[in-house]
Amino acid sequence: MRTNEQDSDESRNTRAGATAGGQQAGPKPKEPEPDEGVGLDEDASGGGSGGAYGELEGPELDKRVVDQIQKKASGMKVLSFAELAVRRINQEKTLLGDRFLCVAAIMLFVAPTGVGKSTALYKMISAWATGKSAFGIRPKRPLKILVIQGENDDDDMTEYVRDVVEDARKRAENGDKKDWELIHKNAKAVRINTLRGFSFILALRELLKKYRPDIVLLDPLNCYSGTDPSDAESITTFLRNWLIPTLEEFECACIICHHTPKTRDWDTTKWKQYQWVYAFAGNADIANAARAAIVVDPTDNPVVFKFVAAKRSSRIGWMDNLGQPTWIRYFKYKSVSGVIDWVDADESEIKKVKAKERARAQEKDKYPPQLLLKPLLEHEEGMTAGALLKYANNRGCPITKGSFWKKLDKWEQEGLVEVSEVTPGSRSKGDPGGRNVWSLTAAGMGIFGPSE
C-alpha cells in the first residue's frame, strides 16, 4: 500500500525534474548568442567607468558579494518566448484549485479581527490535510500543512481545532480512522511569538527542513514580518528577499493571514474585484507579492460573511447556484451544541444579504455630490451648510441633517469642498452648526459636466 508520504516525496521529485524534461514536441528554438559586453566587471571598486557597475553610480559592495551576484546572474535560465510557448505546464506544482495556489507562491487570507478567521483557516487545513474540499477550494491531494501562529495560545488552538475535526474524531471512534490518521500526520501547528524579521526566517527554514510541508500558514503577518506593513522597503525585503526564496528552496507554498485596516466606514457594495486585492492594512506590495488572495467581508447579517476571491479568482473553482464561475461566495459561522463551524449560507440568507447591499448602494446613489453641491456652482462666494441642506430639502431631497453632515465631511476629506469662512463657535469637520461657509474646490468643480 502506498503512503501519503511516498506520494508527497514522489511529487516533489516529479516537480524538480518536470521543467528540465517536460518539453512538448515542437521545433526547438535556437539558443541566442550571449550579448557581448553585458554583465559586471571583475573590479569591485564602486562606480565609474570600468568599475564593478560599469557606468552606474552605486554603493560600494564587498568584492565577494559582487562575485556572488555575477555568478548568480550568469547562471540564470533565460527562456525565449518560443521556448515558453512549447514547454509543458508543471501540474505537480499545483496545490489548490486549478493552479490557484502553487509551490513557492503566497496566498493572502484577509479578514477583520474577531470574525472567526482562525476557525475558518483550521477548517481549511483539516480538510485539505485529508484531500477534501473546504470553502469550495479543492486540494490536488492530501496536503502536509504547518501552522505557525502568534495570536492564539495552545488552549485557544485546542478549542478551534477540536471543533473542526469533531466529525473525523467521531468516525475514528466508530472504526473509520482514515481521515483522523491523515489529520494527525499532515496537519501540524507551532506557536512562535518571540521571533521577528530575519530571525523568524531562520527559524522557519529549520521547521521547513524538518517537517517538509506543502503549505506553511503564517498567522498573522504583522507578528513575523518585524516591520510596519506600510513600510514598502522593509515589507518587500521580508516577502521578496527572504520569504519567497525560502519557499522556493523548500518547495513550499505559504498562506499569510492578514488583517484589514482599523475600523473604517467603507461601503464595499460597488467595489470592483481589483479593489478587494488591496483591502488590507499596509503597502500595496503585500498584494503584489501574493499570487492569490481571499478577503472576508462582514455583511448586515452578523453570522453571514462574503468571501471574495480577490486574485486568481478564475482558478479557485467557485461556482454560483447556476453552475457559473463566480468570485464571491457566502458562508456562515454557526455554533451547534457548543461546536463552532463554518458552513455554506442558505440561499434565503444570501438573498436577504444581497437585497440589503442593493438597498445600501441605491441609498448611496440617491444623494450624490452632483445633486447636493450643485448650488455652489451659482454661489462662488460659498454657502453655509445649513443653506445647502435647506436648498436640497426644498427641492424634494429629504436627506436628514445627520446624513448631510456626514456627506459634507466625506466630501471635504475627498477634496471636493472646503471651508472658505469659519464661523466662530463652529467646526469645519461636519459643520454640525451649519454656520460655516463652504465652497467648491477645483476638484469639486470637475465633477460637474460642461452644461452644468
Helix (H), strand (E), coil (C) string for 230-270: CCHHHHHHHHHHHHHHHHHHHCCEEEEEEECCCCCCCCCCC
Q: Give the whole-angstrom CA distance, residue 242 versus residue 197.
A: 9
Strand boundaries in 176-220, DSSP class E = 187-191, 215-219
Looking at residue 428, what is its pLDDT?
A: 46
Q: Give the whole-angstrom CA distance, residue 104 versus residue 193.
A: 24
CA-nearest of 24, 4, 263 to 131 is 4
Q: How many Cα atoms sit within 13 Å of 70 on the Cβ side? A: 17
Looking at residue 264, what is its pLDDT?
A: 61
Q: Give the whole-angstrom CA distance, residue 93 versus residue 18.
A: 10
Residue burial 45-84, b: 16+ Cβ < 10 Å; e: rest: eeeeeebbbeeeeeeebeeeebeeebeeeeeeeeeeeeee
In the sheet with 383-384, reading across from the earlier edge strand, the strands are: 383-384, 437-440, 417-421
Q: How many CB atoms lie within 10 A of CB 99?
A: 19
What CATH architecture is 369-445?
A: Orthogonal Bundle (1.10)
The amino acid occupying position 274 is Y
Strand boundaries in 346-416, DSSP class E = 383-384
Looking at residue 344, what is its pLDDT?
A: 95
Q: How far, CA to CA in Å, does 137 sit from each of 59, 228, 273? A: 47, 31, 19
Q: Give the whole-angstrom CA distance, residue 344 versus residue 318.
A: 12
Task: Provide the grid cell at 295.
Answer: 478577503
Size (the chain), residues: 452
Task: Provide the grid cell at 18.
Answer: 518536470
Query: 218, 247 in Cβ contact below 8 A?
Result: no
- Which tens digits make up the pLDDT trace of 253-286? 999 999 988 766 677 877 888 889 888 889 999 9
Q: Give the whole-angstrom CA distance, residue 178 versus residue 176.
A: 6
CB proximity list for 33: less than 8 A, separation 6 or greater: none
Positive/negative CA dihedral, 226, 232, 236, 239: positive
Which residues are 148's β-sheet partners?
190, 218
User: DSSP readout, 436-450?
Assistant: SEEEE-HHHHTTS-T
The amino acid occupying position 245 is P
Break the chain into its structural domains and give their ranges.
33-79, 92-355, 369-445
What CATH architecture is 92-355?
A: 3-Layer(aba) Sandwich (3.40)
Strand boundaries in 37-150, DSSP class E = 94-96, 101-102, 106-111, 145-149
Q: Give the whole-angstrom CA distance, residue 6 versus residue 261.
A: 43
Q: How is residue 139 annotated by DSSP?
A: B
Looking at residue 89, what is its pLDDT?
A: 96
10-residue mean pLDDT series, the chain (452 residues): 49 48 45 39 42 73 90 94 96 97 98 89 97 98 97 91 93 96 98 96 98 97 94 96 98 96 73 87 93 94 95 96 93 82 94 86 74 87 88 85 84 84 54 71 79 50
